[in-house]
Amino acid sequence: MVDPAGPDPVQADREYIVVLSEFSEMSPHTIFDKLKKGEGYFNYNQNTWTDDYPLSGEDRRMWAKMRMMPTDILDVSSAAYTYLLNGHGPLDNLEYLFRPGERVRLRFINAGAMTFFNIRIPGLPMTIVQADGQNVEPVEVDEFQIGVAETYDVVVTPGAQQAYTLVAESMDRSGMGIATLASAPGARAAIPPLRDPPLLTMADMGMSGMDHGSSGDAGMSGMDHGSGGDMAGMDHGSSGQSEMAGMAGMSGMQMRDTSLLPPDVKVGPGLDMVSMNPVDRMGDPGIGLADVPHRTLDYRKLRALTPHREGRTPSRRMEIHLTGNMERYMWSFDGKKFSAVSDEPIRFAYNERVRVKLVNDTMMAHPIHLHGHFFELVNGAPADRQPLKHTVILQPGGSAQFDLTADEPGDWAFHCHLLYHMHAGMFQIVTVANPDGSEA
């Protein structure tokens, strides 16, 4: 049991912890070396995607031009990983017992190294009651995505069936962790097959809103891969597929248009693309969940359960870019690989309130994590109900904002929580000064 200091607003008859992780027989150093040698090493989907996915010839040409795979969802897949729940593999028959009608609280913790999981329990709705250990207004969903370092508590009321399968499918759908909610030892429900791998969409390339744009608009949103080619002939179709088809009509593509970057972003080999008009994707349920036939979670649906301490308007704005070079497996903030020796930390005055905008100039999702603090997602909720979190997923090509009250003096790690992204340099130190202004 996990007991809060005060009364618990969440009523449950029993609770279980569900720790998500991966196991690999390969050492982390070997995996990192393979990633350095070829970004798609573990992406077995790429060998067959041209046969298995409903892409037109134009779509395929477009992706090929950008030297990208629309199936490039996770760096490391089930080719290297077995997905674990509480350390148990999918064949281990991990069981969570319940009595029919009980309210069961499941505390999901993504302790994985590299894997975003999509969580569902077919036949059983889940009510989200906590995010990153902070109470939220209950919201009922059928599936949710959890990034590395995130936690979600859900309440379920099993009983209509004798057993339910808890599915933790990796975001690239290359594998899953499995457990059973069972009303009696040995009771089992069907295990659903892996779903078809998701495809990246135009939104994942920072192309959100293209389908609403007017043709020839110079302010076209999206990643610029063009060599100054114009955007004429763009298809403004509404589905991801037809948007992609439209993209293929672009002539000449350039990997960078750095004129769009703030001056403190370093331009160099560590940065291979720029999101031209990054759209706030706080309302995105995560890769692969946009078109599932049931209810999903997104950050806009989270509200702090009770008003929190802070309602001040931020006095400063800060923008930090998530940057990378996919082919060379370089990852960084603002184009600069972390160096403890030469980097200036990100500085905050004590109790300073800052609105931080994160811009993802890459085509991968990143769970960005700050130590020592909870920040508030700027998600459309009233200021004092913005949900408190310590980790926020940045969708590919998108942006997200959080408000931070820097009230814990000292040095704190701020980084992508994907192990090999952090190791490659997507990391920085946040320094909060003492109340008297001195360095902590």
Note whether 321 binds Cu ion by CB under 5 A: no
Query: Is 388 strand, coil or helix?
Result: strand
The distance of closest approach from Cβ of residue 297 to Cu ion in the complex, given in angstroms and rounded to an integer, is 21
Nearer to Cu ion, 245 or 370 (CB): 370
The distance of closest approach from Cβ of residue 148 to Cu ion in the complex, given in angstroms and rounded to an integer, is 9
Nearer to Cu ion, 80 or 106 (CB): 80
What is the C-alpha to C-alpha distance for residues 223 and 21, in angstroms, rounded to an integer? 32
- Contacts with Cu ion in 395-424 (CB under 5 A)? 416, 418, 421
Among residues 258, 276, 296, the alpha carbon closest in space to that of 399 is found at: 276
- Contacts with Cu ion in 361-400 (CB under 5 A)? 366
Size, binding site for Cu ion by CB under 5 A:
4
The distance of closest approach from Cβ of residue 334 to Cu ion in the complex, given in angstroms and rounded to an integer, is 14
Nearer to Cu ion, 147 or 226 (CB): 147
Nearer to Cu ion, 113 or 253 (CB): 113
The distance of closest approach from Cβ of residue 236 to Cu ion in the complex, given in angstroms and rounded to an integer, is 31
> Tokens 């929580």 label which residue?
417
CA–CA distance from 262 to each of 270, 274, 403 (Å)? 16, 11, 20
Positions of E strands within 157-198? 163-170, 176-182
Instruction: State the CB neighbour count (10 A cutoff) for residue 194.
Output: 15
The distance of closest approach from Cβ of residue 221 to Cu ion in the complex, given in angstroms and rounded to an integer, is 22
Evaluate whether 348 touches 404 at the Cβ level (below 8 Å).
Answer: yes
The distance of closest approach from Cβ of residue 409 to Cu ion in the complex, given in angstroms and rounded to an integer, is 27
Evaluate whether 302 touches 150 at the Cβ level (below 8 Å).
Answer: no
Nearer to Cu ion, 343 or 352 (CB): 343
> Tokens 């100039």 label which residue?
361
Query: Is 354 strand, coil or helix?
Result: strand
Per-residue x/- track, 322-361, Cu ion (CB under 5 A): ----------------------------------------
Nearer to Cu ion, 62 or 416 (CB): 416
Maximum CA extent, the chain: 65
Evaluate whether 103 touches 155 at the Cβ level (below 8 Å).
Answer: yes
CA–CA distance from 260 to each of 22, 99, 226, 274 (Å)? 38, 58, 14, 8
The distance of closest approach from Cβ of residue 437 to Cu ion in the complex, given in angstroms and rounded to an integer, is 34
- Contacts with Cu ion in 4-63 (CB under 5 A)? none
Nearer to Cu ion, 105 or 390 (CB): 390
Residues 6+ apart with CB under 8 A from 289: 118, 143, 145, 296
Return residues touching Cu ion (CB under 5 A): 366, 416, 418, 421
